[in-house]
Structure 1
Amino acid sequence: MAHAGSTTPRPAAAVTVPRQRVATPGAGRVAIVSASVGAGHDGAAAQLARRLAAHGFAVDRFDLLELLPARLGRAVQEGYHRMLVRAPWAYQRIYAGTERAGGGGPVARALLRAAEDRVLHALPPDTGAVVSTYPGASRVLGNLRLKGRLGVPVLTYLTDFSVHPLWVADGVDVHLAAHAVPAAQARAAGARDVRVCGPVTGPRFRPCDAQGRHDARARFGLPQHSPLALLVAGSWGVGPVRKVAHELRDCGAAVPVVVCGRNEALAGRLRADGIEHAYGWVEDMPGLMHAADVLVQNAGGLTSLEAFASGLPVASYRCIPGHGLTNAAALDEAGVSVWVRDPADLKAVLCDLIDGPPGRQQRARGLALFDRPQDEGPAAEIARVHRSGLADRSRYPAARRHPGPRRLATTAAAAAAVWACAVGTGMATSYDGPGLAHAIGHGLDLDGLSAHDSRTGVHHP
């Protein structure tokens, strides 16, 4: 999940991210497939596209949810959101179950198979490599590679510090990791070619001087001489945000500045509680990070990377289930964030991070993630794989014939029927409603068993 928040309310999240093309002739063409689930996957895709364009590539971006049949993308997005808000225990159970077991459910496989043709035919014929920033997209692309229907390299860019086994997809040629910790987890999950290439964030996320800090606080109307703790909860503002905001205020270590993303109702409740600096969607997140002394987060996604790039120390606290907990553990292992497990430790940890040796050490480790030559970053690795694929096309299987429209329509109709039953029932006591929505959207079985992970390309049939 990514950062969120705003002085100007942002429209409700659309189901799809419009296809974007950067028509820069020269190096070749790369496609990026993401998903508008939260904001972190799309945020990584946008930054990869920017960097690839700077390398001379033409870049096409696609949203996997947009390419699902029968407009099922909205069901995936809304179901996942509803489950995180109303039944986080169900998400934790599914997430933990899929870490332990293998094999995908038949409904999940059918849905992802139904997306294969749409993904394949969305790719321009001169595409030289495809990059996934979402586990479901990796599965679809990997399956196309394994079937010989996609004839160019496929890469997965791991957006999180923790790597769920679903990230490692059979058929994917290369997995790109921001740090040695996620790289090791990817290898343990079965990935063969894993390359550490550093994180990607926007260019405005960088350290500032004392004047920049003063100006940022003035723009947001924040106190100039008090320590500030920036509390973020992803683009949807999920988790026990209200409780944490009160704990931050009451512990006395820092003034809470809360970003609630698209959850404007939560921002309103916080202001009614007396939390003066509570925002919805914030366009100027670099400015807020320049104003703050420490970041408190609960998901460990893109916002944490942006804080590292800004020289802002990070604490993980009261994390959301699933990837929030595993990201907190991985960030803590890497030494770039502190995981506060006991509320009694909150004040002491914040004081250490704001004005103590632990904070200075963590800032240095976070900034070091971005301290690498231009030719060692993610875009450079993608360019290398692109070149290797173009140089040796003979090693990729020939494309296979596109199945007839009747077969696709049948699969889509079956998936649509399942979705209608699953999402329409609302939240029940088991894995119907949002639980099933998330399970299918990520390629999971209905009982919380893990999907068959996908792994390696663009010959069109």
Structure 2
Amino acid sequence: MPAPVGALPRPRGEAAPSGRIAIVSASVGAGHDGAAAELARRLTADGYTVDRHDLLDLLPARLGRAVQEGYHRMLVRAPWAYQRIYAGTERAGGGGPAAQALLRSAEDRVLRALAPGTGAVVSTYPGASRVLGELRLSGRLTVPVLTYLTDFSVHPLWVAGGVDVHLAAHDVPAAQARGAGARDVRVCGPVADPRFRPCGREERDRARARFGLPPHSPLALLVAGSWGVGPVRKVALEVRDCGAAVPIVVCGRNEALAERLRADGIEHAYGWVDDMPGLMHASDVLIQNAGGLTSLEAFAAGLPVASYRCIPGHGLTNAAALDEAGVAVWIRDRGDLKAVLHDLIDGPLGPRQRETGLALFAGSPAEGPAAEIGRVHRSGLPQPSPRPSPRPAVRRRPASRRLTTTVAVGCAVWACAVGTGIATAYDGPGLARAISHGLDLDDHAPQHGPRPEGDHE
């Protein structure tokens, strides 16, 4: 009789390993899902059956969409709070009980989602790594777990006990992961859709004509993630006014921002763009504010990258890590904007960064992250040592009491949304004020902490 759907994978040695791999991501922005999609494409091409899961869909009580919306609102309305929370938990080395409780509630659902015969599980999101690592430590998950680090900076929340292997795109994030306690860290390069590749002048000219862009002007492509967050208007106007390049702005799903930019006189402002490779081929430089997947895609396309007016938290730490790795210059002062853009477009800095970025993708497919996942899948790994004492059972509240207070729910939602666990950096009334403001539950701005400079669409 066939095994029931959701049955646990067999322990190593009970049967020959299957060709099935699961990838667990989260639709928090687009970067985690984008990395998962490219890993799935490569693994499928290598002959594996790949199942993809969204952690937000596996949270109980339909909290996943609330997590997504809460994180979005916080980045838009209270970026100052995200910065303070991110930095506080970075110093503390991780999150607290609120996040742990929320993620623990997803463990059974994640196990049930894994198809029978799954031979390895890959995470592209910190929360998923925490859930899978706990399952691995407890012995309930008996196959290897790998984390693919999507960012160049590694918050301690990325490094979960029980995860067997961490895959890094570069030595900089690899060193940060080891510093956060990861045991087995392997540098195997980044992933990007193969459509992102260098192009010649003729292809660049065709791309400009296709988008209706100026054929001869220097073009600076401004990106702000799938949600279009951060001081995007300020950056677009500063680029235009400095005269170094014509700004081309991609606002993701923030159509309201695109309309405001067009009203400001920024002629080339787009919402969601399906042909991002073509838009990169048309451009001379990319200006980014978060350091996620789009930066890696630009490196693969041979486009010089600058970090400028980055969003708080991971935006700032990614800018620092990219600068340390030499793949993207970090413009910290507005007064340097024009000179750096000129250097990237017409000076020696641009070719140097183009070469450094392309070098990330110089390895053969056999050396890449998908191939490394395949090797771990085929070889298997021993079960990690369990904790000295088992975790006490968690009493399940009645359904009517699960969402008893706004602050408790907000804490859990916020904790998971910003990287699984960072809401507990605050306590007391300050936390309640921050949560209620970040989730738009009151009309009053908190009285502690200045807002960062810039507008927040």
1:64 corresponding residue in structure 2: 55
Which residue of the other structure, out of 397, 403, 417, is the alignment partner of 1:410?
Answer: 397
Task: Choose which of 402, 417, 420 in structure 2 pairs with 1:443.
Answer: 420
Structure 2 counterpart of 1:314, from 305, 314, 321: 305
1:352-401 deviation line (CA, Å, top 9, x unaligned): 00111110000000000000011110011001110111xx67x5789xxx
Could you tell me how far apart the structure 2 residues matched to 1:281 and 1:367 are?
A: 26
CA distance in 1, matches of 2:359, 2:312: 29
CA RMSD, Structure 1 to Structure 2 (Å): 2.1
Matched, 1:295 2:276: no
Aligned equivalents of 1:422, 1:262: Cα separation in 2: 29
In the TM superposition, structure 1's runs of 4+ consecutive aligned residues that sit over 2 Å from their partners are: 102-107, 395-398, 406-418, 420-423, 435-438, 440-443
Q: RCO higher in 1 or 2 (8 Å CA, sep ≥ 6)?
A: 1
Partner AA of 1:444 in structure 2: G
Per-residue CA distance 1:209-232 (angstroms, 9 max, x = gap)? 111100000010000000000000
Q: Which amino acid aligns with 1:156?
A: T
Question: Which structure 2 segments of 5+ residues have no match?
Answer: 1-16, 428-457
When residues 362 and 120 of structure 1 are mapped into structure 2, their CA distance, relative to the original with a 3 A threshold, is same
Alignment of 1:211-290 (within 5 A): 211-290=202-281
Specify the SS of the correspondent of 1:32.
strand
Match runs of 1:105-116 below 5 Å: 105-116=96-107
SS in 2 for 1:155: strand
Does residue 376 of structure 1 match 2:353? no
Residue 40 (structure 2) pairs with residue 49 (structure 1): yes
Residue 74 (1) aligns with residue 51 (2): no
What residue identity is the alignment partner of 1:438? W
Check whether the contact 2:97–2:424 (CA below 8 A) recurs between aligned residues. no
Aligned length: 405
1:206 correspondence with 2:197:
yes
CA distance in 2, matches of 1:84, 1:445: 14
Contact 1:104/1:449, CA 8 A, preserved across alignment: no
Alpha-carbon distance in 2 for matches of 1:285, 1:446: 34
Structure 1 residues 63-120: Cα deviation after superposition (integer angstroms, max 9, x where no partner): 0000000000011100000000000000001100010114643222211111000001
CA deviation after TM superposition for structure 1 residue 414, in Å = 5.8
Helix, strand or coil at the partner of 2:279: helix
The 1-side partners of 2:378 and 2:277 are apart by 35
Q: Which residue of 2 aligns with 1:430?
A: none
Give the conservation status (yes or no) of the 8 Å contact 1:72–1:416: no
Distance in 2 separating the partners of 1:190 and 1:167: 10
CA shift at 1:438, angstroms?
2.3
Which amino acid counterpart does residue 152 of structure 1 have in structure 2? V
CA contact (8 A) 2:253 2:271 kept: yes
Aligned to 1:350: 341
SS at 2:202's partner residue? helix
Query: CA 1:159 to 1:103, structure 2 compared with 1: closer, same or farther past 3 Å?
Result: closer
TM-score normalized by structure 1?
0.84
Instruction: Report if the CA contact (8 A) 2:153-2:321 is conserved.
Output: yes
Distance 1:333 1:249 in 2: 28
Percent of residue pairs bearing the same amino acid type: 78
Alignment of structure 1 residues 7-156 onto 2, 5 Å: 28-102=19-93, 104-156=95-147
Q: Give the deviation of 1:151 after TM superposition.
A: 0.1
- In 2, the alpha carbon distance for the partners of 1:273 and 1:396 equals 57
The AA in structure 1 aligned to 2:415 is: A
Relative distance call for 1:104 and 1:259 in structure 2 (3 A) is: closer
Q: TM-score, normalised by structure 2?
A: 0.85
- The yes-or-no answer on 1:181 pairing with 2:175 is no
Aligned partners of 2:43 and 2:273: how far apart in 1? Answer: 26
